[in-house]
Copies of this chain bind each other. A is one copy, B any other.
């Protein structure tokens, strides 16, 4: 997966962005994971992007395992069904939505708990002390890298 835009970045955020960091990618994923979109024409209508770009993104998602391409019954078209790997991007979309609402003037995202219908929030939690942690109380550092995956940077 590496060897493209972010070659040399031994970081999981960079690896994620290799797969979903291109223009439109995360909005296609948003439609797939939260609006249940599967058809090319529905993605196109929702996003209004050029069909060649949409086609390239969907093909890339299929190749990477984020979506599966399946034939539609009674249609000459296929559908693009998001996989578990794609569904796991929900927290990324939620985090972007939250930030875009608070800092970029967008509408609030409405995320709900399927079981009880209550509003769902994203929280940072310390697994040692159990406290809810504000963003300015989180520090980050590189994790241990896997030398097999990136021998140059791990040296």
Contact = CB atoms under 8 A, between A and B. Distances in A.
Interface of A: 1, 5-6, 8-19, 21, 23-24, 26-27, 30, 33-35, 47-48, 85, 87-129, 131, 133, 135-146, 149
A143 B108 contact: yes
Contact of A141 (B85, B91, B110, B137): B110
A27 B17 contact: yes
Contacts of A127: 118-121
Contacts of A8: 48
What is the predominant secondary structure among interface residues of chain A facing chain B? mixed
Contacts of A146: 105, 107
A56 to B, nearest CB: 16
Contact of A140 (B109, B117, B144): B109
A147 B91 CA distance: 27
Nearest to A33: B140
Nearest to A136: B87
A102 B143 CA distance: 13
A126 B120 contact: yes
Q: 8 shortest A-B CB distances, which residue pairs?
A: A118-B128, A12-B106, A12-B100, A34-B140, A16-B100, A113-B126, A15-B106, A15-B104
A87 B47 CA distance: 29
